[in-house]
Structure 1
C-alpha cells in the first residue's frame, strides 16, 4: 500500500459531505476514481457503488465492501429568524456538537452555544438535548435560508479536515469511519488492475446507510450474490485513560482487528470458524500483527452481509479508531498498511484457500 497516497486520497474523500442517505457526492468522487482501475462500475438506485475486476483464472466471486456514509444530522425545522433545528442520522453525540463548525448542505454553519456569561450553574453542567440544539448559518430569516438551498431534510456534518500528528503515523479528523476503508478498497483495485494474476472476480462495493442500520449492504449483497465476502470498517478501541480498564483490549497501532463477535444477540455476527481460520492463517503467513476482538457494543455491515440469500460465507477486517463518532477520530496508518497486506493476500490467493466447508474434515 502506498501510505502517502492513501493519506492524500483520504483527505480528499473524507472532506466530502456524505451523511446517511446523502452520500451522492462521495459516491460520485469514488466512482470517478474506480472507473480508472475497474472493468465495470455501476451505482444502483440506492446509491451503492459496484466496481468489478476480473482475474486471469477461474475462481470465486469475492465481494469486498466498505461503507461511504458518515454520522451527521438533517435539518428538522427552520424558524422565522433563520435558525435550524436538527435531528441525528447515525451515532451523533450531543456533547460533541455544541460549538462545532458544520457543513449544512454546502454552507458554513455553527452549532449554537449559549454564552457562558448567561448560563446558570446548572446549565454549565448539563448537556442540551438534541431538540434544544440549533444551527446558525448566518441567515436572518426562513426565506434567506431557503434561498441558500437549505430545507427540511438537508444534511448537516462536521467540518474537520484530516490531519497528521507530529507522530506522522497518526491521523485525525472526521469520517475516518469509514472513508478510510473506501480508500483502502480503491488502493486494492489500483493494484489489481496492474496485476491480474488472481483467480476469480472481485466486486468492490461502497455501501450506503451503514450508520442507520446497515441498509445499503443488505441490498448490495443480494445484488452481488457473492461466494465469499470481506467487510472493511473501523471500530472503537479502548486505549485511552477513560477506557483502558473497560475489558475491551483493542488499541491503535497493534494491527488490524478481526472481530470474532460483533453486535448484540439479535443484530450482529459470529464469525464462522472457517473464515476466522482463513484470515488468521494469512495474517500469520504475511507476518501481519492482528488483534482478535469480541465487540458486543459495535457492529459492521457484516451483520447484514452474512444473512443474505442462502447465507454468505464472510468475515471482517477492521481498524481501531479512537474517539469514535466524533469530529476527531484518530487512527494509525500502520494498521491500514498491515490490514491491506492481509486483504490483498486473501483476495489474490483464492485458489489456495482450501476447503471452507463448515463440517470438520475426517481424521
Structure 2
C-alpha cells in the first residue's frame, strides 16, 4: 500500500497504542508492511518485517518504537472519578484539562483530566506544583457502579486525544505520539521503496513495544533479529524556542535529521 507521507503520519499519530497496549497501532503497521516483507513478532509483541536481500548478510535492523506515553486506570472513586497511573514520562503540570480516551471493556470512553480548581485552593495549595494525587479523570459517571457499567476496569489503558493537523505553514504538523510514530513512518517508507530496489542486505523493519517504560522491546527485538547493523529511528526534542540560550541550541525544527554520536549510555 503506497500512501502519502502526511496521510501515513496522520494515521499513525491518531492511532491508540500506549506502552503495553499496542494492539491497534500494530494492526495499522501490519496493513502497511505486509506487502513489503515477511511479518513476524517476537514474544514481547514487537512487529518485525523482514525484506530479504540477494545475500544472507550483513543483516540491517531499522528500529522505531510504536508505543506512546499514556495512562492506566488505577482506581475508581465512589463518585465515579478515575484515578490513574502514568505510562512513560509526563510533566504533570501539562495534564489538567487534557482530553483522554479510556479503552474500556465496552468501547472507548472520552473524558478529561481534572483537578481542584484554583478558585477553591488555599494560598498555600496554589503555590505547590500539581502531583498525580491531585488529578483525576472525569468520564461523566456519577458513581463507581455507573463507571463500571460504562465498561471501566482497573488496568484499562488511557490514551491522550489530540487531532492531527497541518498548521498554517504546511511544513509544520501538529499531533500526538510523533515520538515515535515519525520513526515508524520513516521505516514504512524505506521498506516501501526497497520493494523497487535490488539490494544485497537483508533488512528488518522492527516496530518495538514498551520503549516508553524502559526500552523493553528494543532489547527483545534486537535479540530476535540479531542484526549486524542497527539504525534507530527516534525523535529528538527541538529546542529552538524562547528561553534557550544560543550556546545550548542543538536542534532546530526543519533543519534536517540529527545523528547522535554520544548519549548517556554510550561514548564511541
State the TM-score, normalizing by the size of structure 1: 0.69
1: CA distance, partners of 2:183 / 2:102: 25
**Which residue, 53, 56, 60 being the options, matches 1:55?**
53
Note if 1:68 corresponds to 2:28. Answer: no
1:120 positional shift? 3.5
Distance 1:222 1:134, change over 3 A: same
1:187 positional shift? 0.9
1:56 positional shift? 3.2
Distance 1:180 1:143, change over 3 A: same
Pairs within 5 Å for 1:39-188: 40-57=38-55, 59-105=57-103, 106-188=108-190
Match of 1:226 in 2: 227
Pairs within 5 Å for 1:326-341: none
2: CA distance, partners of 1:209 / 1:154: 16
2: CA distance, partners of 1:25 / 1:162: 17
CA contact (8 A) 1:238 1:246 kept: no
2: CA distance, partners of 1:125 / 1:242: 22
1: CA distance, partners of 2:165 / 2:128: 31
1:32 positional shift? 1.9
CA contact (8 A) 1:238 1:244 kept: no
2: CA distance, partners of 1:154 / 1:246: 44
1:91-150 Cα shifts (integer Å, max 9, x gaps): 111111111111111210100133343233444443311122100011112222223332
1:208 positional shift? 0.5
CA contact (8 A) 2:115 2:134 kept: no
Note if 1:209 corresponds to 2:193. Answer: no
2: CA distance, partners of 1:183 / 1:149: 33
Distance 1:244 1:148, change over 3 A: farther
2: CA distance, partners of 1:222 / 1:59: 16
2: CA distance, partners of 1:25 / 1:235: 24
1:9 positional shift? 1.1
2: CA distance, partners of 1:5 / 1:148: 38
Moved more, 77-86 or 248-257: 248-257
1: CA distance, partners of 2:241 / 2:127: 23
- Structure number with the bigger relative contact order (C-alpha 8 A, sep ≥ 6) is 2
2: CA distance, partners of 1:55 / 1:225: 16
State the TM-score, normalizing by the size of structure 2: 0.92
2: CA distance, partners of 1:169 / 1:41: 33
Match of 2:21 in 1: 22
Match of 2:266 in 1: 269
1:6-55 Cα shifts (integer Å, max 9, x gaps): 111111111111111111111111112211222x1012331100001112
2: CA distance, partners of 1:244 / 1:156: 36
2: CA distance, partners of 1:36 / 1:143: 46
Match of 1:247 in 2: 248
2: CA distance, partners of 1:33 / 1:246: 42
CA contact (8 A) 2:101 2:111 kept: yes
1:58 positional shift? 5.1
2: CA distance, partners of 1:246 / 1:131: 38
Match of 1:338 in 2: none
CA contact (8 A) 1:74 1:86 kept: yes
1: CA distance, partners of 2:53 / 2:185: 21
> Which runs of 5 or more structure 1 residues have no equivalent in the other structure?
273-363
Distance 1:135 1:246, change over 3 A: farther
